[in-house]
Structure 1
Amino acid sequence: MTEKSPSLVTSKTLIEPEFEGFYGKYKITLVDQLEVKRYRISVLVCAISFCCGLTQWLAIGPNLAWIWLITMTISLGLALQWIHIYILFLHNALKIFWAVGSLGVLFLLFNIGPQEMLSSIASKPILELFIGPFFMALTGLGFKEFFCFRRPEAIGMTFFIPIALLGHLLGVLSLSSVMSLLFISAILLLIMAVRKFGVDAALDIGDKSVFEYLDNQKTAESSGI
């Protein structure tokens, strides 16, 4: 998938425009357009939650910032449900990372307590392993957006989040440096999310004929054809 729009076959004013793909013609249906809208809204909510959580932490402390982590978790899960990725293995891997990380968040919430959870992670880096998979899924989303659209803010987010978390886990970065990198990542995610609303939905879908071809191949293999 690239940011270059596929060849438009019919007028863009049609509700379900038709395109010429690598494996033939396909339509961007109303369902497709709705999924793209839901994906973009979910990414935007995740970005806003990320920014608000870090801002609240820096302004008044981490005690109540966990609320924003919950909205981040929910919105990222929804975004991964509606994201369009050709390779099913990679799509499922991101979902698994999200699920494991979400379970880690719940474990810490119930075993440490919401008020102390984030401050405990900050003071005991080993606890980061519980929520690390969640941020791996978020990083994967950023990498997908860079790979497909070459957005500079996406590649920035893809690098800064792992550097911040690994630096904290290994003890090679100060907490202030970690927070700075995460805050930059949150701002970049917000910029990316806002910019996506000005892009044609067909670009988020990509070449749908590839999806249809892969589905047909899978069906043929399962039926022994």
Structure 2
Amino acid sequence: MRPAASMFGTHQPGDSIWHRCGVGWKYLVVLALTLVALALQHPWATTASLVLTVAALLSTRLPARVTLAVPWSLVALLAVLAGFQLVTGQPDAAFVVPGNVLQAVLAARLLICTTPASVLVDALVRAADRVPFIDGERLGLAVGIMLRSVPFLAGAFYDVRDAARARGLERHWVARLSPVVVRAVGFAQATGEALAARGLGDGSADDAPFVRRAR
């Protein structure tokens, strides 16, 4: 599984209540689980949010390796966060800060694993269209490009790393980063050409990217 997918998960078909639930309700549940813990910054709130999030993920009836597995990169980040708080003499924060990060990642999986990406983006576009001066279609396009770009760039980095390791160049940063930069530039150019072919992205340079144009 790709690193980006192992962090946030990918859509998995199913027939649980979360799969059948409307995307708007799922957004609200994820926000409620996450924002309460972030606002209170207390160990019991973090614990409660984690327990409720894990229970919700288990109720999706998806494999635990999809919904609950924690990649090593995230474990390392949580360890660094906890260690920093301990060093600065904040034992409560050593649990609350990494706990809230872990809870947010797991809550995101509840949304992503039970909802197709296209449905998530469509819901975001509809919500943005209700905000004055926001062009929901442009915002949705930007989010769609981001959803494509992050896995592509993460996959490129790990592909190049594996290739460099096979050639004994795992410590050679130029050999590892140069192909990633080339792939990133190529991806950006291809995306720009696709947008231009559809008549998008040709506005004036001082236009705000998500502001709705007057018709």
Same fold (TM over 0.5): no
Per the normalisation by structure 2, the TM-score is 0.30
Larger Cα-atom Rg: 2
Per the normalisation by structure 1, the TM-score is 0.29
More strand by share: 1
